[in-house]
């Protein structure tokens, strides 16, 4: 294997720490495994029609330039997100005959492909022309197979994996001291973009309901980007002093938040996989999440606690159950250990490399 060109419409920088961090983590793991990786990524999270056109035009041009520069040494391109990243892989295949695989993370199939007929048609073409497709979760794989008529043999279910040497459990007391948090409150933690699809509104509603049932001090910490200013403003009636919004943090600090909290909550309306829930489990943090997409398979065998999506009452009841149950009883560690072994980054990296090798040789997957 010579060089792999990773193409992604999301990639972090020092200014935008969480923007596609999962892609960077996989690139790092591949490089550690000896793969020569070149990256062509959009690092600008700006929204709005004008910003989107400008940033994607710039990214597309830089990607094509890299494709021209390395066309004789690139064995394969790996696009993260079917659209728009897969369009660039498809273009390089048409221009230089470079094969490609594409990873679907969920939003590209569940949201982007449903925006209009043109994007759906492009999505179908990208999937059909690819050498292989990686789906972040089994539900997503089924959607790709059924909605786009892709042969199941061409699809592999492979998560982004979690680095269990980095995401580790440590003392809650020490973590709270490092983050300058009080030792008394029961802390619920959410990590992700503060957008409607992540269920943040229902989480705030559930938290406020919970406060009417429990006298014990508690806090809700919401760590993530708040670029959707209109949505954030709409949440204000639900925000109280015990709700703390925190900007995206570096990975090591994020691990401290996992260890400092009592329960991690991810009430998404849709989720291709739910990597952040896996990261919470790796730090020995109990997880409550919506029964949607990849979260259903990730947590459904007892590794976490699932609730109906968009149901603040059900979420509040599960949060109350978590507060009233010891961690030892609330967590099924046998189920957690099983899930973590399956999604260990080392195993995931080995699977990715095997898919690369098969695609390069002309196979359609494993």
Backbone phi and psi for residue 47, each to the nearest 5 degrees, phi listed first: -110, 180
Binned at pLDDT 50, 70 and 90, residue 193 comes out as very high
Structure token pair of residue 333: 């560690």
User: Per residue in 88-119, is it b (16+ CB within 10 Å) or e — as a string?
Assistant: bbbbbbeeeebbbbbbbbbbbbbebbeeeeeb
How far apart, in whole angstroms, are the C-alpha atoms of residue 179 and residue 253? 8
Cβ pair 288, 322 in contact under 8 A:
yes
Residue located via tokens 């990715």: 352
How far apart, in whole angstroms, are the C-alpha atoms of residue 73 and residue 89? 15
Q: How far is CA 88 from CA 98, 166, 168, in A?
A: 11, 32, 37
pLDDT at 364: 56
The conformation of residue 366, written as its DSSP 8-state character, comes to -
pLDDT at 366: 53
The conformation of residue 79, written as its DSSP 8-state character, comes to E
The conformation of residue 154, written as its DSSP 8-state character, comes to G
Helix (H) or strand (E) holding 219: strand 218-223
Write the pLDDT tens digit of every residue in 108-151. Answer: 998 999 999 999 999 999 999 999 999 999 999 999 999 999 99
List Cβ neighbours of 254 (8 Å cut-off, separation of 6 or more): 191, 223, 279
How far apart, in whole angstroms, are the C-alpha atoms of residue 30 and residue 75? 15
CA-based nearest residue to 265, from 293, 306, 215: 306
Structure token pair of residue 99: 């094969």
pLDDT at 17: 87
CA-based nearest residue to 221, from 207, 234, 235, 231: 207
Domains of the chain: 3-161+344-360 (3.40.50.2000), 172-342 (3.40.50.2000)
Q: Which long-range contacts (CB under 8 A, 24 or more apart) does 41-44 make?
A: 41/6, 41/7, 41/8, 41/9, 41/10, 41/11, 42/8, 42/9, 42/10, 42/11, 43/11, 43/12, 43/13, 43/16, 43/19
Read out DSSP for 81-148? STTTHHHHHHHHHHHH---EEEEE-SHHHHTGGGS-HHHHHHHHHHHHHSSEEEESSHHHHHHHHHHH
Highest mean pLDDT among 87-91, 270-274, 359-363: 87-91
Binned at pLDDT 50, 70 and 90, residue 363 comes out as low
How many residues are listed for the chain in this entry?
A: 366
pTM of the model: 0.89
Average pLDDT over residues 310-336: 97
Binned at pLDDT 50, 70 and 90, residue 2 comes out as confident
Q: Rounded mean pLDDT of the chain?
A: 95
State yes or no: pLDDT of 365 exceeds 60.
no
Cβ pair 20, 107 in contact under 8 A:
no
Helix (H, G, I), strand (E, B) or coil at 245: strand
How far apart, in whole angstroms, are the C-alpha atoms of residue 341 and residue 191? 23
pLDDT at 346: 95
Average pLDDT over residues 77-83: 98
Write the pLDDT tens digit of every residue in 253-308. Answer: 999 999 999 999 999 999 989 999 999 999 999 999 999 989 999 999 999 999 99
């Amino acid at each position: 294997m010579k060089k792999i060109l990773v193409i992604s419409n999301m990639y972090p920088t020092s200014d935008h720490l969480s923007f596609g961090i999962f892609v960077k983590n996989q690139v790092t793991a591949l490089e550690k495994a000896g793969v020569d990786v070149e990256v062509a990524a959009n690092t600008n999270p700006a929204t709005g029609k004008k910003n989107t056109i400008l940033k994607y035009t710039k990214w597309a041009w830089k990607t094509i330039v890299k494709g021209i520069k390395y066309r004789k040494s690139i064995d394969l391109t790996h696009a993260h997100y079917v659209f728009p990243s897969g369009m660039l892989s498809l273009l390089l295949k048409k221009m230089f005959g470079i094969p490609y695989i594409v990873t679907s993370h969920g939003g590209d199939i569940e949201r982007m492909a449903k925006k209009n007929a043109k994007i759906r048609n492009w999505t179908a073409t990208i999937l059909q022309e690819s050498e292989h497709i990686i789906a972040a979760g089994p539900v997503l794989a089924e959607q790709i197979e059924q909605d786009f008529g892709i042969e199941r043999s061409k699809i592999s279910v492979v998560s982004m994996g979690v680095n269990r040497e980095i995401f580790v459990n440590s003392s809650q007391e020490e973590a709270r001291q490092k983050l300058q948090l009080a030792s008394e409150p029961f802390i619920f933690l959410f990590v992700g973009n503060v957008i409607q699809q992540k269920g943040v509104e229902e989480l705030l509603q559930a938290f406020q309901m919970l406060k009417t049932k429990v006298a014990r001090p508690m806090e809700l910490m919401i760590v993530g980007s708040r670029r959707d200013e209109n949505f954030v403003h709409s949440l204000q009636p639900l925000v109280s002093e015990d709700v703390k919004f925190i900007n995206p943090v570096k990975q090591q600090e994020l691990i401290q938040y996992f260890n400092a909290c009592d329960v991690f909550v991810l009430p998404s309306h849709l989720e291709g996989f739910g990597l952040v829930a896996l990261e919470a489990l790796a730090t020995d943090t109990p997880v409550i999440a919506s029964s949607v997409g990849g979260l259903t398979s990730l947590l459904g065998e007892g590794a976490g606690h699932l609730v109906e999506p968009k149901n603040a009452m059900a979420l509040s009841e599960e949060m109350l159950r978590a507060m009233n149950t010891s961690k030892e009883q609330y967590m099924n560690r046998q189920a957690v250990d099983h899930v973590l072994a399956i999604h260990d980054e080392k195993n995931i990296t080995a699977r990715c490399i095997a898919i690369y090798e098969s695609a390069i040789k002309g196979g359609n997957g494993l």
